[in-house]
C-alpha cells in the first residue's frame, strides 16, 4: 500500500461564463510514501489560471506565488491532473481536512462537467485522523497543520508553509509520527457513492429544540471551577444557532452562561458545549437577586 499526501493552493476566481466564484487550483504538491512512511517520490506543479486573470491579494500574500510564475508554468488543470492521476496510481489519497478534495471536485466540475473523481480509490482525512490519534478534544476548533506539527515537536519553517509541496511534506511528517495501522483503518474510506454523499453533506446547526436529533440529556453543564453539576436558572433561548441558558454553581456561587450547539453531520449529531461569562445585563440582574 502506498500513501499519497496531497496539498492544493487555490485562488477564488470569478467566472464570467458561469456567473459565480470558483476556487481555481493554482498549485499541486504531493509526496508518495511507502508502507514505512518514507517519502519515495514527490510531485510539485504550478497551474496557469484559466478562469481568472489575477490573483487575490491574500493568496499572493499567503503563498508568495506570482502570476508570472503561474503563467511561465504553461500548465493547464487538465494537464496537471492527468500527471497526478499517474502519480497516485492505486495508492491511498490523504489530505489535511477534506476541503482540498472538495476543491478538486469543484475544478473537475468546472473543467470536465462531472465532479466524481473516478481515479480515486481510497481516501483518508488526515486532519480527522491526527485529531483522533492525538486525543484532540476541542470540537469548536479544528486542528491546524502547524499546530499539529508543533504538538509533535516537528521542526518546520513557518514562512515555508502555505506552499503546496511544503504543506504536503509536513502533513506526511505528522502522519508518520502518529501512524497506527489499526487506527488508520477506521479513517480509510472507499470512494464509492456513499463517500461522495458524506463528503458533500452540508453540516448544519439544529435550531429547533423539538428536533428529534436533539439529545435533551446532553443539556446540562458542570461548573468550570469545581466540576459539580450546575443549576439552570433560565429558559433555553436560541442565539447565533446555539442554545443558551444561565447556570449557577451553588457551591462556588458562580454564574455563567452555558452554550450548546447540536451540529447535524452526515450520520451523527455532534454536541458542542461551551461556558461563557453572562452578558453584562443579565449579570447585573443576577447580582441584584443575589444581594
Residues that bind Zn ion (CB under 5 A): 223, 225-226, 249, 251-252
**Smallest distance, Å, CB 103 to Zn ion?**
46
Q: Three cell numbers at 76?
A: 493547464
**Residue 86 vs 253, nearer CB to Zn ion:** 253
Smallest gap, in angstroms, from Cβ of residue 261 to Zn ion?
Answer: 23
Q: Which is nearer to Zn ion, 176 or 273 (CB)?
A: 273
Q: What is the smallest separation between the CB atom of 222 and Zn ion, expressed in angstroms?
A: 8
Q: How many residues does the chain have?
A: 291
Strand, coil or helix: 223 = coil
The nearer residue to Zn ion, 166 or 222, going by C-beta atoms, is 222
226 or 231: whose CB is closer to Zn ion? 226
CA distance 74 to 120: 26
H or E element: which one contains 30?
Answer: strand 20-33
> Closer to Zn ion at the Cβ: 76 or 225?
225
To Zn ion, the closest distance from the beta carbon of 254 in angstroms equals 5
Nearer to Zn ion by C-beta: 163 or 248? Answer: 248
Of the two residues 18 and 229, which places its CB atom closer to Zn ion in the complex? 229
CA distance linking residue 88 with residue 93, whole number of Å? 7
Q: Reduced to 3 states, what is the DSSP secondary structure of residue 71?
A: helix
Tell me, rounded to whole angstroms, the distance of Cα 81 from its chain centroid. Answer: 23
Q: What are phi and psi of 114, to 5 degrees?
A: -150, 130
Alpha-carbon distances of 252 from 228, 255, 275, rounded to whole Å = 10, 9, 15
Closest CA to 34 of 97, 119, 91, 96: 91
Q: How far is the CB of 143 from Zn ion (least distance, A)?
A: 30
**Contact predicate 124/94, CB 8 Å:** yes
3-class DSSP state of 238: strand
Shortest Cβ 167–Zn ion spacing (Å): 43
What's the min distance (Å) between Cβ of 280 and Zn ion?
21
Q: 107: part of which helix (H) or strand (E)?
A: helix 99-112
Amino acid at each position: 500500500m502506498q500513501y499519497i499526501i496531497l496539498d492544493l493552493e487555490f485562488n477564488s476566481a470569478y467566472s464570467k461564463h458561469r456567473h459565480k466564484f470558483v476556487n481555481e487550483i493554482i498549485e499541486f504538491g504531493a509526496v508518495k510514501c511507502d508502507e514505512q512512511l518514507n517519502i519515495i517520490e514527490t510531485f510539485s506543479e504550478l497551474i496557469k489560471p484559466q478562469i481568472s486573470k489575477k490573483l487575490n491579494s491574500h493568496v499572493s500574500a499567503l503563498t508568495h506565488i506570482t502570476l508570472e510564475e503561474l503563467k511561465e508554468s504553461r500548465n493547464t488543470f487538465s494537464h496537471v491532473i492527468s500527471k497526478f492521476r499517474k502519480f497516485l496510481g492505486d495508492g491511498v489519497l490523504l489530505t489535511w481536512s477534506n476541503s482540498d478534495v472538495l476543491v478538486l471536485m469543484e475544478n473537475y466540475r468546472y473543467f470536465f462537467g462531472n465532479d466524481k473523481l473516478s481515479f480515486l480509490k481510497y481516501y483518508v482525512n488526515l486532519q480527522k485522523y491526527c485529531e483522533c490519534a492525538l486525543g484532540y478534544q476541542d470540537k469548536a476548533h479544528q486542528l491546524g497543520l502547524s499546530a499539529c506539527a508543533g504538538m509533535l515537536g516537528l521542526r518546520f519553517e513557518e514562512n515555508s508553509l502555505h506552499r503546496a509541496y511544503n504543506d504536503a511534506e509536513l502533513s506526511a511528517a505528522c502522519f508518520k509520527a502518529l501512524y497506527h495501522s489499526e487506527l488508520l483503518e477506521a479513517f480509510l474510506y472507499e470512494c464509492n457513492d456513499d463517500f461522495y454523499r458524506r463528503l458533500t453533506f452540508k453540516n448544519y446547526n439544529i435550531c429547533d429544540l423539538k428536533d428529534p436529533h436533539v439529545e435533551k440529556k446532553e443539556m446540562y453543564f458542570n461548573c468550570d471551577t469545581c466540576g459539580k453539576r450546575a443549576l439552570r436558572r433560565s429558559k433555553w433561548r436560541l442565539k447565533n444557532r446555539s442554545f443558551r441558558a444561565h447556570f449557577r454553581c451553588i457551591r462556588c456561587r458562580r454564574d455563567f452562561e452555558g452554550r450548546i450547539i447540536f451540529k447535524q453531520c452526515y450520520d451523527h449529531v455532534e454536541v458542542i458545549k461551551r461556558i461563557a461569562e453572562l452578558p453584562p445585563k443579565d449579570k447585573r440582574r443576577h447580582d441584584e437577586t443575589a444581594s
